[in-house]
Structure 1
Amino acid sequence: MAREQREQREQYVEVAAGVRLWTERRGAADAPALLLVMGAQASGLGWPEELVDALAERHHVIRYDHRDTGRSTHSFDEHPYRVTDLAQDIIAVLDGLGIERAHLVGLSLGGMLTQLLLADHPERVLSATLMGTCALSETPYVGPDGVSELPGIAPEVLELWARPVEDHGLEAELDRRVAHWRVLGGDRIPFDAAYFRELERRIIEHAGGYAPSTAHGRADDSGMLRTAELARNEVPTLVVAAPAEPVFPPPHPQHLAQVIAGSRLVEVPGMGHALPPAVLGPLTEAILAHTGSAARV
């Protein structure tokens, strides 16, 4: 019965000719919609079950696989697309599921795509929550000592990303992915290798294979700046500050809060660029408090 119920919540949505995306819905159909937008190369199953279930107590939660991830169409090599097309996919998903407006929660690249919707389609967004991302703005960061340069990606992350990915079998691929999460998680919370190994095993089973995709990294990322639009944003926006973030380290969250009008900042202690069990409680509370307050505006 559980498997049957799960299948009833799954649906494919066509977002372009020959391109369809896998979606999953959870929670009461008449609850306010909340769409989870994952990062680059990441399946929707990267959103932990515990987080999805907790959010579904108050929301109709949707997660989905980007193009070239999970069960969605893998077609970049034959039909290249731009990163901005991935933002348009969000609109297509909402349209395909019959959802007029939704709360958006974006992580990493998903946070950038969410900013594009804030700028280009604010009428479709009830609220936005951004984490592990950078501002799509040319406005400089102003710190306690004035204008200062934002830090780049941590060297250990860049070194890991530079390594060639070779196929040595499923268990070796799981080892590689766990090592990746170890670095992305930062150094504030003890790392649970077994948790992330099981997470990645489920993602691989969901996708039906473990070959990694590089499509999003090769996609044209031009035309993403939205400096003026973000400066006049009116959608309630929450920026989650992660003190152990190695990809977009502090003060990137503070910069986001400066350039997106009407946004506010909440720190989740110990959080990095990953979603281990230790951060899920505080993160859920922050998201639900934000979506609840946005509903009262």
Structure 2
Amino acid sequence: MAAPEMGADMQIDANGIRLEYEVHGPEDGPALILIRGLGSHLIHWPEELTAGFAAAGYRIVTFDNRDVGLSSRCPVPGAEGNAGTILADLNAGLVPKPAYHLSDMARDVVALMDALGIARAHVFGISMGGGIVQLLACDHGDRLLSAIMVMTSATLGGLNLGGRLVSKPCDRQTYIAGALEGDRAWGSPGFPASEAYLADQAARAFDRGAEAEGVNRQLLAILNAPDRRADTAALTLACLVIHGEDDTLIPVGHGRSLAALILGSELEVIDGMGHVITPMLAPRIVDRVDRFITSRL
């Protein structure tokens, strides 16, 4: 296929769905695929992060996960996305049936690589995306050059996050207000982003497509994630775990435990980092990841 224009956003068929993606940086650079967390879009990556990686020589691929932004919606008959039904089930001690699993989202990444002609790549995932990176490393390790797992856990399915993260339909202003409230709850206090920056991101995300039922389908994939600690402990792939000391959504102990599972992995705990990569934090992340990758060459 023809080489995509650097920085352009496009759509491509992958794993039977359409994924919205962008490419940044030199076409001949080593591929680095960035995987977002629950409900977030490719536009939530700070420019300081993507431009920083591109300036370091990487070919950056960002994309909207299934069910958010401009990528395909993936409902399945019999699998709920309705907030009220999900909350009722959770309150009754039940985990609702998912429309798909994180393993399906991992296959989305492999199919995206296939469609872009990328044989092997470094993969960098945050939160839910970090769980997807673990699955890629365990199940598709031959396609990975290294794995960077950020603000995530080896036991995502057991974190009991459902009641805090279920999404409800809302209007644009309520969506923006919710994004600001979320940052106050689990943002990065040592590397703050302005309310204007966060509100602009949220407004653009809402306009691109942020339907509650799609986000809830992602959440159910997380809640149904099986315990893969034994598989993760068997990894021989080069792995870097990054976690914030001030993460109030997935506490830092999960990052320490994940790194301890993987023989030879590196761990970076950052004071002042919460559950958001902000423009102020991005250069430190770029530098740490680049040092990790180049030290393995």
TM-score by length of 1: 0.82
The residue number in structure 2 matching 1:147 is none
- Partners in 2 of 1:158 and 1:221 — Cα distance? 7
* 1:126 and 2:145 are equivalent in the alignment: yes
Identical columns (%): 28
Contact 1:270/1:279 (<8 A) preserved: no
- Partners in 1 of 2:156 and 2:70 — Cα distance? 33
The residue number in structure 2 matching 1:101 is 120
Alignment of 1:5-154 (within 5 A): 9-17=8-16, 19-57=17-55, 58-78=57-77, 80-136=99-155
Give the counterpart letter for 1:279 in structure 2: L
- Partners in 1 of 2:231 and 2:164 — Cα distance? 35
Shift of 1:34: 0.2
Change (3 A) 1:96 1:282: same
Shift of 1:172: 2.4
Change (3 A) 1:238 1:83: same
Divergent runs of 4+, >4 A: 4-7, 157-160, 186-191, 220-223
The total of aligned residue pairs comes to: 271
Shift of 1:250: 2.0
Contact 1:38/1:107 (<8 A) preserved: yes
Shift of 1:42: 1.7
List alignment gaps of at least 5 residues for structure 2: 80-98
Give the counterpart letter for 1:266 in structure 2: E
- Partners in 2 of 1:23 and 1:64 — Cα distance? 4
State which of 155, 160, 174 in structure 1 corresponds to 2:176. Answer: 174
Change (3 A) 1:222 1:202: closer
TM-score by length of 2: 0.82
List alignment gaps of at least 5 residues for structure 1: 139-149
Contact 2:165/2:219 (<8 A) preserved: no
Shift of 1:68: 0.4
- Partners in 2 of 1:190 and 1:63 — Cα distance? 23
The residue number in structure 2 matching 1:242 is 244
CA RMSD of aligned residues (A): 2.7
